[in-house]
């Protein structure tokens, strides 16, 4: 094959993918050196070496594959952004080019070779000369390309060819009578094939085995999830638990024929491309001659609104937010979410009273009940109860070691006599009632609030034993022992609530001369938590000392961070939350069956935490599924207080789920697009175009009549007019279909994989009218830049190399539980959003607002429990609220419990989590 380019004929060897891909966009002065290495490139086994040889052929060196760094170490390179020279030996992100070679040339070379060597089906299209601008994305800045001319012309993309119905003849597919007819069965199935009962919003009961399903937006029936996907994913081995089908072109054929004339990447200044358009116009005009010229408006559904979510929650919550709903068949539930403000201690039950309390000599002590002491004190007229709180750690004093306990009590008595107080409270001796032991552990904070002073007792265990924890410190240094004490969970609330401005530390190693170390509380964080979280812990110390005021939301979030950063020997799953409970006002009763999340959720409902749970729902975890529920790090960089919730948590359910009420919701259609209804204003151009299309045959009739009458000049004139109108038929149809939309059917479409915007617009609307674009900041994968007019412009996310790598990586996933790439198409806002998720979400719920946009929680559906599980969180324009109805209360899980969804390959017994 030969291709004319730049006045020279380039001969491409047959079968050479490298040549076919690279010569499509390289000038002769670039491709000639590459030709000499074709045999060597083809014989190289790895893609890395192929790229290395190809780049060396054109004067560049392979430098750092991990960071995509390429440059010639012997030449002075130019920074493609600033244009300034880069000193030799300095690394810089690709592309960095030697002098006299445009930077975008190297971009083209690398892209072409990568496509060719990886054997990707579609090689890059020829690109126009571009300059580099800064593209702003979710993870920083990347190099992108902007046109030297107008963005509409230079950055024009063409639709990608879709195989569509030809897939029927390429591989055996499953068939069904309802639309869509042809599809692929799942390659993986769930291990659990138990028949589950499901009740829909209309009260109909269905019994189905576990599989990926959704609720149909029209009738609410439970249906199998069929996901349309790009050709490369559809033709690859099936690696998912849902059914797949190919992407269909649903726009009218007349529209596609009309726009086919110009739907390719063309150069308006090149005569070759104009010739292609003229040649395309002839068959297009001929084909449209036999088509009925009516312009259908497309489908109108739900009165132009988004498809609703037909769901009803029929179950019961573990705890409801309202007292009336907390009544079950046995009466009022024991663990209520509210009205528990009496569940706290005003004073300790027992104290250790000193013998001869005001003598500095050690005379011992005895444990007495407070009720007994109060009776005697009232008789003496001294009702005040002054006592010392002694803080210690079981990791440093083994409760099963008599020697350790004796040393602990000796230091406690010494500290109490030094403080000139008659009694002290210590957990090892004052929690003597076994019936109240569990609740007393979680109410130690109340005892500390009533103390006059607090001291800390530290020290290593007397001797290692099988009961000594392996993390027990062996040092005798007071600072090191204090750091270990401060790393424990239950010691953190103690230092926060300790009275006074300083705290005394007694060291067991200094028992013979126990002069305590006194630390002021404003220096405690820097001295004890310097290696961990001194900054945020110091904020809490300042807050409880009254020198800094944190909001309710900031306080709860900061406390969670600090508490979960500390260690404990688990007593109950909700220990961290119960430690937090002691620092708050209202407290629900302890429930041993609570998980950590359920315990926190009940505490949050009981207290005014400024809708913390409602805000947390709209958080997109920055670290994906591995991020714990108590970590509120957002992938968008927002804080909880930046989100204004628009829903309410009404109840708490099993498996760390909650009941949400008041959110707006919309269903996502995955099985196919449909031709959505749209309308434009009737301009004068569009009006005359319609007239010409409707009455063009009048010119032919007049021409024929005048020829028959012998009036040849008039006949020739009308014949030429008719021929011109006939050839212009595609343009006239495109003019009628184009223009600014004044109204459009709101719909959410989804497909697996990536397609460019012109391809999707052509499939839905019939052509590339430059109406459908990418969202500016709809997901962490969205990319944009600021043009020369100061306008924020969205660009194709795959122009960022990092995003493109994610798209390619998603094509090679092997099974469930791995991150995939999906695309959401919003016809109301005319935006496409590329996002990552493990499975396709079947609906979105608008649960909050942040930064001038709505947080859309995209969820999959587990029909076995009637639960929506958060897959990702997107950002949608606030105008979406105009076309989205409210959803009834629904059950929401922050993440899907993967242990309940183990899957295996069909015909294989090996399970994969």
- Which of 334-348, 469-483, 700-714 has the highest average model confidence (pLDDT)? 700-714
Distance CA 887, CA 566 (A): 40
Lowest mean pLDDT of 219-228, 349-358, 439-448, name the range.
Answer: 439-448
- Which of 108-117, 139-148, 513-522, 681-690 has the highest average model confidence (pLDDT)? 513-522
Q: What is the pLDDT of residue 44?
A: 64
Mean pLDDT of 190-201: 93
Mean pLDDT of 607-611: 85
- Residue 102 pLDDT more than 90? no
Q: What is the pLDDT of residue 472?
A: 57
- Residue 541 pLDDT more than 50? yes
Mean pLDDT of 214-232: 95
Q: Which residues contact 431 (CB under 8 A, 6 or more apart)?
A: 349, 350, 437, 440, 441
Confidence of residue 385 (pLDDT cuts 50, 70, 90): confident
Q: What is the pLDDT of residue 37?
A: 55
DSSP string, 142-184: EEEEEESS-HHHHT---PPPP-GGGHHHHS--EE-SSSS-EEB
Q: Which residues pair with 5 in a beta bridge?
A: 8
Helices of type H across 290-423:
370-380, 402-418
Confidence of residue 126 (pLDDT cuts 50, 70, 90): very low
Confidence of residue 360 (pLDDT cuts 50, 70, 90): confident
Distance CA 669, CA 309 (A): 11
Q: Which residues contact 584 (CB under 8 A, 6 or more apart)?
A: 603, 606, 607
Eight-state DSSP code of residue 707: H
Mind listing the pLDDT tens digit for each residue in 877-896? 999 999 999 999 999 999 88
Percent of the chain with pLDDT over 90: 42
Question: Residue 446, Cβ neighbours under 10 Å: how many?
Answer: 17
Mean pLDDT of 550-565: 91
Mean pLDDT of 227-248: 94
Q: What is the pLDDT of residue 90?
A: 44
Distance CA 365, CA 731 (A): 101
Confidence of residue 724 (pLDDT cuts 50, 70, 90): confident
Q: What is the pLDDT of residue 154?
A: 39
Distance CA 110, CA 55 (A): 8
Mean pLDDT over each residue of the chain, to the nearest integer: 79
Q: What is the pLDDT of residue 205?
A: 95
Token match 């009458």: residue? 709
Distance CA 409, CA 30 (A): 85
CA-to-CA dists, residue 35 to 29, 56, 722, angstroms: 11, 12, 51
- Residue 75 pLDDT more than 70? no
Lowest mean pLDDT of 190-194, 624-628, 682-686, name the range.
Answer: 682-686
Confidence of residue 731 (pLDDT cuts 50, 70, 90): confident
Distance CA 739, CA 572 (A): 64
Q: Is 149 exposed, middle or buried (0-12, 13-18, 19+ CB in 10 A)?
A: middle
- Residue 77 pLDDT more than 60? no
Q: What is the pLDDT of residue 718?
A: 87
Q: What is the pLDDT of residue 6?
A: 33
- Residue 343 pLDDT more than 60? no
Q: What is the pLDDT of residue 263?
A: 62
Record the tokens describing residue 146, joined without a space: 């902007």
Lowest mean pLDDT of 18-32, 375-389, 516-530, name the range.
Answer: 18-32
Give the neighbor-by-neighbor strand order of the sheet with 140-147. Answer: 140-147, 130-137, 783-786, 792-795
pTM (2 decimals)? Answer: 0.78
Confidence of residue 613 (pLDDT cuts 50, 70, 90): very high
Question: Residue 480, Cβ neighbours under 10 Å: how many?
Answer: 14
- Residue 577 pLDDT more than 70? yes
Lowest mean pLDDT of 86-95, 528-537, 769-778, name the range.
Answer: 86-95
Q: What is the pLDDT of residue 440?
A: 73
Distance CA 400, CA 417 (A): 26
| Total residues found in the chain within this entry | 913
Distance CA 314, CA 325 (A): 13
Hey, CA dihedral for 540, 543, 548, 550, is it positive or negative?
positive
Higher-scoring residue by pLDDT: 788, 51: 788
Mind listing the pLDDT tens digit for each residue in 245-256? 999 988 777 676
Mind listing the pLDDT tens digit for each residue in 639-676? 999 999 999 999 999 889 999 999 999 999 999 999 89
Q: What is the pLDDT of residue 344?
A: 60
- Residue 548 pLDDT more than 50? yes
Token match 């063309």: residue? 266
Q: What is the pLDDT of residue 56?
A: 56
Q: What is the pLDDT of residue 297?
A: 66
DSSP string, 179-232: SS-EEB--SEEES---EEEEE-TTS-EEEEES--EEE-TTT--EEE-EEEE-HH
Higher-scoring residue by pLDDT: 357, 540: 540
Mean pLDDT of 168-180: 90
Task: Read off φ and ψ for residue 109, nearest 5 degrees.
Answer: -60, -50
Higher-scoring residue by pLDDT: 74, 900: 900
Instruction: Give the helix/strand (H/E) hosting 561.
Output: helix 552-564
Distance CA 20, CA 123 (A): 9
Q: What is the pLDDT of residue 184?
A: 94
Eight-state DSSP code of residue 414: H
Hey, CA dihedral for 270, 25, 232, 843, is it positive or negative?
negative
Q: Is 318 helix (H, G, I), strand (E, B) or coil?
A: coil
Higher-scoring residue by pLDDT: 276, 402: 402
- Residue 26 pLDDT more than 70? no
Lowest mean pLDDT of 181-195, 199-213, 421-435, 677-691, name the range.
Answer: 677-691
CA angle 248, 251, 252 (to 5 degrees): 125
Nearest CA among 899, 907, 906, 890 for reference residue 311: 890
- Residue 391 pLDDT more than 80? yes
- Residue 93 pLDDT more than 50? no
Q: What is the pLDDT of residue 443?
A: 76
- Residue 870 pLDDT more than 60? yes
Confidence of residue 117 (pLDDT cuts 50, 70, 90): very low
DSSP string, 594-630: --HHHHHHHHHHHTT-SSHHHHHHT--BTTGGGS-TT
Mind listing the pLDDT tens digit for each residue in 261-318? 666 544 444 555 556 666 666 676 666 666 555 555 678 889 999 999 999 999 999 8
Distance CA 543, CA 855 (A): 31
Mean pLDDT of 795-802: 92
Give the torsion through C-alpha atoms of 413, 416, 417, 421, to 10 deg.
-140
């Amino acid at each position: 094959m030969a291709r004319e380019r730049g006045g020279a004929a380039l001969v491409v060897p047959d079968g050479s993918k490298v040549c076919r891909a690279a010569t499509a966009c390289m000038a002769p002065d670039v491709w000639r050196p590459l030709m000499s290495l074709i045999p060597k490139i083809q014989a190289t086994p790895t893609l890395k070496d192929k790229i290395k040889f190809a780049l060396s052929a054109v004067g560049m060196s392979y430098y750092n594959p991990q960071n995509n760094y390429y440059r010639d170490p012997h030449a002075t390179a130019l920074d493609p952004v600033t244009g300034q020279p880069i000193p030799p030996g300095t690394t810089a992100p690709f592309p960095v080019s030697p002098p006299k070679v445009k930077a975008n040339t190297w971009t083209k070379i690398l892209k072409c070779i990568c496509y060719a060597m990886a054997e990707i089906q579609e090689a890059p299209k020829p690109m126009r000369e571009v300059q580099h601008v800064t593209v702003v994305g979710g993870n920083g800045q990347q190099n992108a390309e902007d046109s030297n001319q107008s963005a509409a012309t230079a950055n024009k993309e063409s639709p990608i060819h879709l195989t569509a119905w030809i897939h029927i003849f390429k591989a055996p597919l499953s068939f069904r009578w309802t639309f869509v007819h042809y599809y692929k069965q799942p390659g993986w199935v769930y291990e659990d094939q138990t028949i589950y009962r499901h009740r829909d919003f209309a009260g109909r009961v269905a019994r189905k085995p576990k599989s990926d399903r959704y609720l149909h937006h029209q009738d609410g029936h439970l249906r199998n999830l069929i996901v349309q996907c790009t050709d490369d994913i559809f033709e690859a081995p099936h690696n998912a638990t849902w059914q797949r089908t190919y992407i269909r072109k649903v726009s009218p054929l007349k529209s596609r024929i009309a726009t086919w004339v110009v739907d390719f990447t063309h150069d308006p200044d090149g005569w070759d491309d104009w010739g292609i358009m003229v040649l395309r116009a002839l068959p297009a005009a001929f084909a449209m001659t036999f088509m009925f010229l009516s312009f259908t408006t497309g489908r109108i559904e739900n009165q132009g609104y988004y498809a609703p979510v037909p769901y009803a929650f029929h179950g019961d919550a573990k705890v409801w937010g309202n007292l009336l709903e907390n009544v079950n068949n046995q009466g009022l539930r024991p663990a209520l979410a509210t009205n528990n403000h009496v569940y706290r201690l005003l004073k300790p039950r027992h104290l250790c009273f000193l013998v001869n309390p005001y003598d500095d000599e050690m005379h011992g002590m005895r444990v007495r009940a407070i009720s007994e002491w109060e009776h005697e004190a009232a008789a003496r007229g001294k009702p005040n109860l002054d006592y010392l709180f002694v803080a210690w750690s079981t990791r440093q004093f083994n409760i099963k070691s008599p020697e350790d306990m004796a040393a602990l009590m000796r230091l406690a008595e010494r500290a109490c006599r030094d403080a000139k107080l008659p009694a002290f409270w210590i957990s090892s001796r004052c929690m003597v009632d076994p019936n109240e032991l569990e609740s007393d552990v979680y109410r130690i904070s109340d005892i500390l609030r009533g103390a006059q002073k607090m001291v800390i007792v530290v020290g290593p265990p007397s001797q290692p034993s099988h009961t000594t924890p392996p993390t027990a410190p062996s040092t005798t240094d007071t600072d090191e022992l204090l750091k270990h004490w401060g790393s424990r969970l239950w010691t953190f609330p103690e230092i926060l609530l300790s009275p006074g401005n300083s705290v005394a530390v007694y060291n067991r190693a200094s028992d013979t001369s126990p002069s305590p170390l006194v630390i002021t509380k404003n220096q405690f964080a820097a001295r004890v938590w310097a290696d961990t979280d001194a900054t945020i812990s110091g904020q809490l110390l300042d807050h409880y000392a009254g020198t800094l005021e944190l909001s309710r939301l900031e306080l709860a979030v900061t406390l969670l961070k600090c508490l979960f950063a500390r260690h404990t020997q688990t007593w109950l799953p909700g220990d961290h939350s119960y430690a937090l409970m002691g620092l708050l006002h209202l407290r629900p009763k302890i429930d041993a069956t609570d998980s950590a999340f359920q315990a926190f959720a009940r505490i949050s409902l009981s207290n005014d935490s400024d809708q913390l749970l409602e805000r947390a729902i709209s958080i997109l975890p920055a670290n994906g599924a591995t991020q714990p529920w108590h970590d509120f790090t957002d992938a968008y960089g927002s804080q909880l207080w930046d989100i204004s919730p628009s829903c309410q948590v009404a109840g708490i359910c099993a498996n760390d789920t909650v009941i949400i009420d008041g959110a707006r919701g919309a269903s996502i259609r995955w099985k196919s697009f449909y031709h959505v209804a749209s309308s434009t204003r009737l301009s004068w151009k569009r009006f005359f175009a319609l007239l010409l299309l409707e009455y063009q045959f009048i010119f032919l009739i007049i021409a024929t009549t005048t020829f028959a009458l012998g009036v040849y000049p008039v006949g020739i004139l009308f014949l030429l007019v008719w021929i011109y109108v006939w050839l212009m038929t595609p343009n006239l149809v495109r003019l009628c279909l184009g223009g600014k939309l004044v109204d459009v059917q709101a719909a959410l479409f989804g497909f697996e994989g990536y397609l460019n915007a012109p391809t999707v617009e052509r499939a839905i609307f019939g052509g590339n009218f430059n109406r459908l674009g990418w969202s500016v900041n709809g997901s962490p994968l969205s990319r944009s830049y600021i043009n020369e007019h100061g306008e924020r412009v969205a660009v194709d996310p795959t122009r960022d190399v990092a995003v493109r790598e994610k798209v390619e990586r998603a094509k090679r996933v092997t099974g469930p539980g791995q991150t995939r790439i999906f695309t959401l198409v919003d016809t109301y806002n005319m935006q496409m959003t590329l996002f990552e998720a493990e499975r396709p979400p079947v609906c979105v719920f608008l649960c909050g607002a942040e930064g001038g946009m709505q947080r859309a929680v995209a969820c999959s559906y587990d029909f076995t429990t009637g639960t929506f599980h958060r897959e990702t969180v997107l950002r949608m324009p606030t105008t979406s609220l105009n076309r989205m109805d409210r959803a009834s209360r629904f059950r929401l899980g922050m993440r899907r419990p993967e242990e309940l969804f183990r899957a295996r390959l069909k015909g294989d017994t090996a399970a994969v989590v």
